[in-house]
Amino acid sequence: MVILNWNGKSLLEQFLPSVVQHSDDAHIYMADNASTDDSVAFVTETYPQVRILQNKENGGYAKGYNDALKDLTEDLFVLLNSDVEVTQGWLSPIVSEFEKDPSLAAAQPKILDYKNKSYFEYAGAGGGFIDRLGYPYCRGRIFDTLEQDEGQYDDVIPIFWATGACLFVSREAFWNVGGLDEDLFAHQEEIDLCWRMQSRGGIVKYVGTSTVYHVGGATLAAAHPKKTFYNFRNSLLILLKNVKGFAAWRRIFIRMLWDGLAGMMFLLQGKPKHFIAVIKAHFSFYALIPKFVGKRKKWASGLSYATIKSIVWKYFIAKKRNFNNL
C-alpha cells in the first residue's frame, strides 16, 4: 500500500492512524513527492512501521506513483490518497476478489464522503464509467449530484474505471501497460490506466463490500481552475490515445463543442477563471496531439467503453440525476 504525499503533514496526522490500525496484513509505504514541510520527519518519528519512499521531484500523481512503485515486489498495489479514512476489514473483500479472479487487473471499494458519511463521494463513488465522448460519471455520482448510500451499491460488479483515490491494482497488469501516463500529470490518469489494462484483457471491478471515506479536494479543491484544466485536457488526450480509427477524431470534435458550451456556462456563472482553464486545456491538447498520435499507434483499440452516448444529455436535458434511472 502506497500513500502519495506532498506537503501533507496535516492530512497524515488525521488519516494515517486509521490506515495503520486497519491494515495489519499490508506493507505500508509513504511516497513523498519532494515535500518541503516536515511530513517525512513526522511519519518517520511517529510511525516507524511505515516505510518512506523518497521521490526526487513533485511529478504529480502519475510520475509520483510510477517512481514509487518501480522497486516494489508485492503482487498487489494499493494506491491510497492521503485524505482517505479506511475502515475495519476494508482490505480483505478486495484482496479476495484478486485471489479468485486471475484476470482482475484493478478494483476499488465503495467511496463515501468523509464530511457527510451517508453520501457517496465525488471521486469514484460506486464505480466509474465514461460516455462515448469521454465524460466520466459514477454509480452514486453524476456530475455534482451525489446519491445517499442506502445499500443500493453493496455489490461486486465490473466497471470501466476504478478511482485513483483508492486504487487496487495488480503489479503485473500495471507494469504490463507501462504504468501511469506521466504526460497526464494528474486527474483521469486512472481512467487511461484502466482503459489500457482492459485493452490487454484485464478486468476492473467495484467491490461494494469494502468501504472507505474520502475527503476529496484536499490536495486540489474541486473548484480550482487547475482541476478544470486537467479534467478537460486529459479527457481529450485519453480519447485520442485509446479510441481506434476515425471515431476518435469525430468524438473529440463533438466533445470540444460540448466543452465550449461548458466554458460559456462558467462565464454565465461568474467563473471566468474556469472559462480560461477550458481554453487553456484545448490549446494544451493541440500541443500534445503529435505526441499522443504516437501513443495511439500502440494503444488505440476497438474496446467497447461506453454504454451511454452522452451523460451530458442524460443529466442536463433529460434530467436523469440518479444512476439507476439512466
At 89-136, the pLDDT tens digits run 999 999 999 999 999 999 999 999 999 999 999 999 999 999 999 999
- Give Cα separations from 246 to 152, 191, 235 (angstroms): 38, 21, 17
For Cα atoms 16, 18, 19, give the angle at the middle one, nearest 5 degrees. 65
212: Cβ–Cβ under 8 A, 6 or more apart, which residues? Answer: 84, 85, 86, 87, 90, 109, 110, 111, 112, 166
Percentage of the chain lying above the pLDDT 70 cut: 98
Q: Which three cell numbers stand for residue 83?
A: 485524505
pTM here? Answer: 0.96
Q: Is the pLDDT of residue 166 over 80?
A: yes
Q: Which pLDDT score is estimated for 217?
A: 58
Q: Which pLDDT score is estimated for 145?
A: 95
| Under 8 Å between Cβ of 264 and 213 | no
pLDDT bracket for residue 54 (50, 70, 90): very high
Q: Rounded mean pLDDT of 52-62?
A: 94
Q: Is the pLDDT of residue 325 over 70?
A: yes
Q: How many angstroms separate the CA atoms of 141 and 159, rounded?
A: 14
- Give the model confidence (pLDDT) of 251-295 as tens digits: 999 999 999 999 999 999 999 999 999 999 999 999 999 999 999
Rounded to a whole number, what is the distance in angstroms from the first to the last CA of the chain? 35
pLDDT bracket for residue 222 (50, 70, 90): low
| Under 8 Å between Cβ of 49 and 20 | yes
Going across the sheet that includes 145-146, the strands are 128-130, 136-138, 141-142, 145-146
Percentage of the chain lying above the pLDDT 90 cut: 95
Q: How many angstroms separate the CA atoms of 241 and 300, rounded?
A: 6
Q: Tally Cβ neighbours within 10 Å of residue 178.
A: 14
Q: How many angstroms separate the CA atoms of 62 and 44, rounded?
A: 24
Q: Is the pLDDT of residue 165 over 60?
A: yes
pLDDT bracket for residue 186 (50, 70, 90): confident
| Under 8 Å between Cβ of 202 and 103 | yes
Give, for 75, the enclosing helix (H) or strand (E).
none
> 3-state SS string over 276-287?
HHHHHHHHHHHH
Q: Which pLDDT score is estimated for 25?
A: 87
Q: Which pLDDT score is estimated for 224?
A: 86
pLDDT bracket for residue 55 (50, 70, 90): very high
- Grouping H, G, I as helix, E, B as strand and the rest as coil, residue 26 is coil
Question: Which residue, 54, 67, 48, 66, is CA-closest to 6?
Answer: 54
> Mean pLDDT of all residues in the chain?
96
What residue ranges define each of the domains in the chain, with the CATH number in brackets? Answer: 2-214 (3.90.550.10), 225-325 (no CATH)
Length of the chain measured in residues: 326
Q: How many angstroms separate the CA atoms of 206 and 263, rounded?
A: 32
Q: Which pLDDT score is estimated for 105?
A: 98
Q: Which pLDDT score is estimated for 216?
A: 78
Q: Which pLDDT score is estimated for 81?
A: 96
